[in-house]
A and B are shown apart, each in its own frame.
Chain A
């Protein structure tokens, strides 16, 4: 894959690519030294969010289907691994699974992607005929349904362990090396968060690569055509039904993959990680960065994943210094900023901070239409 990817790059970009790769490989060490290990963990989470945002970008950015329940697929992926990679099933159903399931991560990963994709089709099938705003509400409802079921399926039989969630999920192993303990390679000690950083980096790169190829492919162009004008697209012979389903399924698979990684990384999942606000946060990343533009979405993901941490480290001390107490907690300030950012972006920069060229043409309302 790397070789193929290299062929796509021109000489100067190839140089920039190696530079970027080197910087990213050094990043955990630099962060660790300058800011502390907690920030490496934050970087890990940022990459999970980037993967999610790229997945949602397929649905919202490319195909133009506003999905407000996207986090449900993340939840499906996470619970797939949580159920098959923890002692929970053994405790809940001792007669069925005496020793627990404990499937290896690398077997669960594709399965979880498929299951999440299946859920994507399940959601997409009844909603295909709906227009944008109805679709938004139905997907929102779907996300809530999944969360309510996760929250309540601890009775009559204990499938999800309810609000307590599932803990003691097996760590991810790469070639029999558990990523949950520090490893020593070539005399360099790599703590667990660094190992996960490299794993997630690899996955993020893969997701970016797939997104990019998808966008340039026949399918991606068909999605964009549907986004611009569905009737015209279907008149051009595009099978809009199948392609919209495919967009849902692909987006859901990305979500499922990052959910699985999340479960292995965190070792614990509970329904509260999959609230509507998380869906909206991922949507914010896509909108803020620039719908339909991969680089923009990555930018949005990085910004919004770092924002809460920056706020936590700045707002609280600032208020302490000014007023002697914390008046506005960083969590609600973060949500306030998200909401404000959504409004401001749509009003002043509807195509995002780093817009895709096509999308900008489309969202620049009247002037664009008149110049054409």
Chain B
């Protein structure tokens, strides 16, 4: 029972990170109908930027509790610029091209970012400094530590904030209008290029936060960390119904739970045939299963056949 509870806690924490990244996929997909393949790499760049800023500031003797939010903000700003640049260079010129074209540039951007990161930060794993006194708490026999609590609460708060932005503000209304019908939105006076750029920047800022969360949780950052995380977050977005904000959140949390429970129990279920090192396979099986049996996802209303 303790193990079960522990897996639930781990799953929820990991899932809230997936949810944040999934929001980036889902917002862009909702508006452009495009899978932003490079989104996972933005997460990685966010983590790496924050790490560099943090190391530099701690080196200058800045107090840790000041350095952490500043480096997080720097990482968010850096990723927003990056997200804007990616859209501007790789996606905007291809907005009316056949679907295959932006997908291929997205793969290209992803490879370029990964290798640039490798050149800048090297191949090695970087230790993420532990700044918060990471006190473990016991809940019914399972352990949850401070960082995990912060991650979970912060993620929920950000998601709530995003929902407010999208459903209660002028910008959010513009975003929904562009998602509904670009031409009509333009005729109503919405600057669609600006809205799309802002969407990318919002998603990238969330990605930066998620990147910092992941590396703070595991204490590690690495140039390759974004790829698998991005894939899983995409799976989460599809699971919840891509294009749907609440769906991305639900999908993220669910995928985190599926993964952590699956990895915890697959050994027992298959009589030791498959062990926890198959953890990464779950996301892909979930993805394939969702696409085959319920392609619109759990909360998705529509999956328009946009040719």
Asked if residues A280 and B101 are in contact (CB atoms below 8 Å), the reply is: no
Nearest A-chain residue to B95, judged by Cβ: A365
Asked if residues A145 and B272 are in contact (CB atoms below 8 Å), the reply is: no
Nearest B-chain residue to A65, judged by Cβ: B100
Asked if residues A343 and B288 are in contact (CB atoms below 8 Å), the reply is: no
Complex: how many Å from CA A28 to CA B144?
64
| Interface flag for B97 (CB, 8 Å) | yes
Asked if residues B104 and A126 are in contact (CB atoms below 8 Å), the reply is: no
Asked, given contacts A138-B287, A142-B284, whether A335 binds B101 with beta carbons under 8 Å apart, the answer is no
Asked if residues B110 and A141 are in contact (CB atoms below 8 Å), the reply is: no
Complex: how many Å from CA A144 to CA B109?
20
Q: Which residues of B contact A137 (CB under 8 A)?
A: 35, 231, 234, 287
Complex: how many Å from CA A111 to CA B111?
35
Complex: how many Å from CA A231 to CA B103?
21
Asked if residues A126 and B112 are in contact (CB atoms below 8 Å), the reply is: no
Asked if residues A338 and B118 are in contact (CB atoms below 8 Å), the reply is: no
Q: Measured between C-beta atoms, what is the minimum distance from A160 to chain B in Å? A: 14
| Interface flag for A10 (CB, 8 Å) | no
Nearest B-chain residue to A328, judged by Cβ: B119
Asked if residues A342 and B234 are in contact (CB atoms below 8 Å), the reply is: no
Q: Which of B105, B119, B275, B307 contacts A229 (CB 8 A)?
A: B307
Asked if residues A336 and B295 are in contact (CB atoms below 8 Å), the reply is: no
Asked if residues B104 and A339 are in contact (CB atoms below 8 Å), the reply is: no
Q: Which of A283, A343, A366 contacts B90 (CB 8 A)?
A: A343
Asked if residues A347 and B104 are in contact (CB atoms below 8 Å), the reply is: no
Asked if residues B103 and A152 are in contact (CB atoms below 8 Å), the reply is: no
Complex: how many Å from CA A365 to CA B112?
25
Pairs A–B under 8 Å by Cβ, sample size 27: A127-B292, A129-B292, A130-B295, A131-B99, A132-B99, A140-B231, A144-B284, A149-B281, A152-B275, A155-B275, A229-B307, A230-B307, A276-B227, A280-B107, A338-B108, A338-B111, A339-B110, A339-B113, A342-B104, A343-B105, A346-B108, A347-B93, A347-B105, A350-B101, A363-B97, A365-B96, A365-B98
Asked, given contacts A137-B287, A347-B94, whether A144 binds B111 with beta carbons under 8 Å apart, the answer is no
| Interface flag for A12 (CB, 8 Å) | no
Q: Which residues of B contact A362 (CB under 8 A)?
A: 98
Q: Which of B104, B119, B285 contacts A332 (CB 8 A)?
A: B119
Chain A, 109-153, CB within 8 A of any chain B CB: 126-127, 129-134, 136-138, 140-142, 144-145, 148-149, 152
| Interface flag for A287 (CB, 8 Å) | yes
B: residues with CB less than 8 A from A are 34-35, 89-90, 93-94, 96-105, 107-116, 118-119, 227, 231, 234, 238, 272-273, 275, 277-278, 280-281, 283-285, 287-288, 291-292, 295, 305, 307
Asked if residues B272 and A156 are in contact (CB atoms below 8 Å), the reply is: yes
Complex: how many Å from CA A339 to CA B283?
26
Q: How large is the interface on A (under 10, 10 to 19, 20 to 34, 35 or more residues)?
A: 35 or more
Identify whether the interface residues of B are mostly helix, strand, loop, or mixed: helix
Complex: how many Å from CA A277 to CA B114?
12
Q: Which of B34, B98, B111, B231 contacts A339 (CB 8 A)?
A: B111
A: residues with CB less than 8 A from B are 64, 66, 68, 126-127, 129-134, 136-138, 140-142, 144-145, 148-149, 152, 155-156, 229-231, 276-277, 280, 283, 287, 328, 332-333, 335-336, 338-343, 345-347, 350, 362-363, 365-366
Q: Measured between C-beta atoms, what is the minimum distance from B146 to chain A in Å? A: 33
Asked if residues A126 and B292 are in contact (CB atoms below 8 Å), the reply is: yes
The 8 residue pairs across chains A and B that have the minimum distance between CB atoms = A342-B108, A339-B111, A141-B284, A339-B112, A343-B108, A336-B115, A339-B108, A346-B105
